Amino acid sequence: MTNENHRHLLNKLAEVPDKRNPRGKRHPLSAILGLSVVAMMCGYRSYSAIAQWGRTYPPDFAIALGFTYPKTPCASTLYYCFRDLDVLALEKTLSEWAPEVFTAMTEEDMKAVAIDGKTLRGSLTQDAQITHLLSVATHQLGIT
């Protein structure tokens, strides 16, 4: 995919109107939407799950998503943000972005990869982290 044809999702999300009161607004709407998209792609659906997921990553992650502070928003901030969100504007923005990306893709870009993961039972101990297994398979090679 060529960079001149591809529009970054975060740039497109910045076009969604922010209806929040400017006073006390700490996080850009595009960053909050970007965090929510990435967290939902990873299976986190609730406000608290998205907030917790965002805070498990280092500050560089928040900055890369467009946050102006290294700490991502809490669940109540996400709730109030989505409560006031112009859903039709978000749908319009995403429905414009998807065809832009698809038409910019080459045949090479469209090669499929399958990803699957699981958490090992009993892998959490007092001082250890949970063990996750991730498998990635390319259809062209037929290997994982």
Over residues 28-85, the pLDDT tens digits come to 999 999 999 999 999 999 999 999 999 999 999 999 999 999 999 999 999 999 999 9
pLDDT of residue 1: 47
> Total structural domains in the chain?
2
pLDDT band at 6 (very low <50, low <70, confident <90, very high): very low
Buried b / exposed e over 86-118, threshold 16 CB at 10 Å, is eeeebeebeeebeeebeeeeeeeeeeeeeeeee
Task: Please give the distance of CA 11 from its chain centroid, rounded to a whole number.
Answer: 13
Task: Give 93's strand partners.
Answer: none
Rounded Cα distance between 113 and 129, Å, is 28
Model's pTM, two decimal places?
0.73
Domain boundaries, position 81? 9-106
Whether 2 is in a domain gets the answer: no
1-10, 81-90, 132-141: range with lowest mean pLDDT: 1-10
Whether 41 is in a domain gets the answer: yes
Are 92 and 126 in the same domain?
Answer: no
